[in-house]
Structure formats: structure tokens, C-alpha cells
Amino acid sequence: MTSGDGWTTCAAGHRHWGLFGAAGLLLRTPPGEPPAVALQLRAERSHHGGTWGILGGARDGDETAVEAALREAGEEATVDPALIHVEASYVDDHGGWAYTTVVATAPSAMALAPRNWESDAVRWVPLAEVDALDLHPGFGRTWPLLREVGPAPVVVVDAANVVGSRPDGWWKDRAGAAARLRDQLAAAAVTGVLGLADGAAGLRSFPRFVLVVEGRARDVGPVAGVEVVGAVGSGDDAVVEAVAGRAGDGRRVIVATADRELRERVGALSAEVLGPRGLLDLL
């Protein structure tokens, strides 16, 4: 692992910690809890000591911004990275140095405490009280953009329809084509996608993907980041069921299909629709 510990200077002339940039976790309470964010009172002897910011720090040379934000949060406070749901990320690019804020949801408003010397306190701050604090300048700049970011959507993919939209020989191997689409979705679940998040321009969204497969593609298995639903009967019915099962969990549901009748059925359940081309352009 190549440590990113060290000072550098960005194109705007600021001094920053993190040779490969830095990343932090804007952790929020889950829906149903009073809205709050996990903030850190930075230790006096740290850079911008005495200000409030988010848990985070220097990226290592071989980790993604999401990995760095989760790792740093786990090192600095009583946060278990395995239980955190990543929703979105936003890059504040200074030129030659960038800070990535990872917006995420905690499983509960669990007790928070510092784990190392970098924080004098770590606590849940109600949304309405954040602006009254003396904020770290970097966090203060992005907070107005990020405070309204919604949870990442669920994207339900009508595999047969989307696979059928690109003439790559899918008709010779329907299961193989569905597996290729699944693997593209899995990659996008890791990197996030541009253009789906509501909120600031340049936000990457980290959707939950549900791939509905039918017929000869029914044996395609799930992979990390993609739930696979094998339709027992009609694929359309399975898509509608998947959408109905997610109503009320507070996330936008987007269905990827060009099938007109199916679009009407899921539209009646308040789902948004996206054409196959629109989905493939995101990946």
C-alpha cells in the first residue's frame, strides 16, 4: 500500500494533507431518525484544529475515494464501515489536488466517539445546527451543495429488453449477454454513475441495481452490488413486483426498459423510467 500521508500544494496555492488527494465521509442518520450528520471537532494540533468537519483523511495510492473515506471514518471514530450505505460522492477539485466527499447513510443513530487523537469530539449534529458551528473551510464550502442530496435510487433493469437493444450477438447466448450486463452494473455499483443523482452537478450516485432475468437467462447468479431476480413467469410481472416491493422505502425507483406496456405499469406505481440506451450510457 502506498501511503498518501504528506503535505502538498494545490493549483490555488493552499496547503493540503494527502499526496493522492483526500476523502471524507458525510454520514447521515437513516430515514425515520431525526436528520443529523456525524461531525468531528478537529483536535487543536491538527490542520484547522478547533473547527468542525467530517471524518476523513489522505487517500492511499491504491484505494478509491469511497474506500479511503470509509477506512478513515473507521480509524477516527466508532463507525463500522461494513454497515455504511454509500449514496453519492462529490469531488471538490482544486487543480492538482482534490477532496472527495462521500455521502452515506448510517444503519442507525448509533453512539459516536473518537477512536484516535485527531478528534476532540465526534457527534451527531442536527441538520439545522450545522451552520451555527465554526466549520472547516473545505467542509463549509461543500456543505450547502451536499446537505440536500437524496438517497441513491434503486434501478430495476428489464434484462431481456436492455440486452435486446444492442446487437452484440445476444440471440446466440442470452444467459451470457445477461451476465455481461450484470457485470457492467456491478462495476457501476463500485464506481458510481454520473447523471442520476438529484442535487449538485457532478455528483456521482451509487444506485442499488436489481436485474430481472427470464427464460434462458434465469440462471444468471447475483454478484456484489447487483441483486438478480429470476422471473418464474413473465419478466414484466417480475419487474412490477420488484418495483412494488420497494415502494415506501424512501428511495426513487427507476425502471430501465423500452417496453411501452411495462413503462405504463411501473409508472402507475410512481417509478421513473429510463430507456435501454439511457441506462447503457450511464454505465
Interacting residues toward Zn ion by CB under 5 A: 10, 12, 14, 94
Residue 92 vs 236, nearer CB to Zn ion: 92
Residue 68 vs 162, nearer CB to Zn ion: 68
The CB-of-115 to Zn ion minimum distance in angstroms stands at 27
Q: What are phi and psi of 129, to 5 degrees?
A: -100, -5
From residue 257, alpha-carbon distances to 16, 92, 172, 212 in Å are 45, 34, 21, 11
CA angle, 88 then 89 then 95, to 5°: 165
Distance CA 42, CA 26 (A): 15
The CB-of-6 to Zn ion minimum distance in angstroms stands at 15
Residue 11 vs 247, nearer CB to Zn ion: 11
From residue 30, alpha-carbon distances to 36, 52, 144, 201 in Å are 9, 21, 20, 24
The CB-of-94 to Zn ion minimum distance in angstroms stands at 3
Residue 68 vs 185, nearer CB to Zn ion: 68
The CB-of-143 to Zn ion minimum distance in angstroms stands at 17
3-class secondary structure, 133: coil
- Nearest partner of 236 among 159, 137, 146, 126, judged by Cα: 159
Residue 97 vs 209, nearer CB to Zn ion: 97
Residue 12 vs 268, nearer CB to Zn ion: 12
The CB-of-97 to Zn ion minimum distance in angstroms stands at 6
Cβ atoms < 10 Å from Cβ of 160: 23
DSSP strand pairing (204-205 vs 193-194): antiparallel
The CB-of-92 to Zn ion minimum distance in angstroms stands at 9
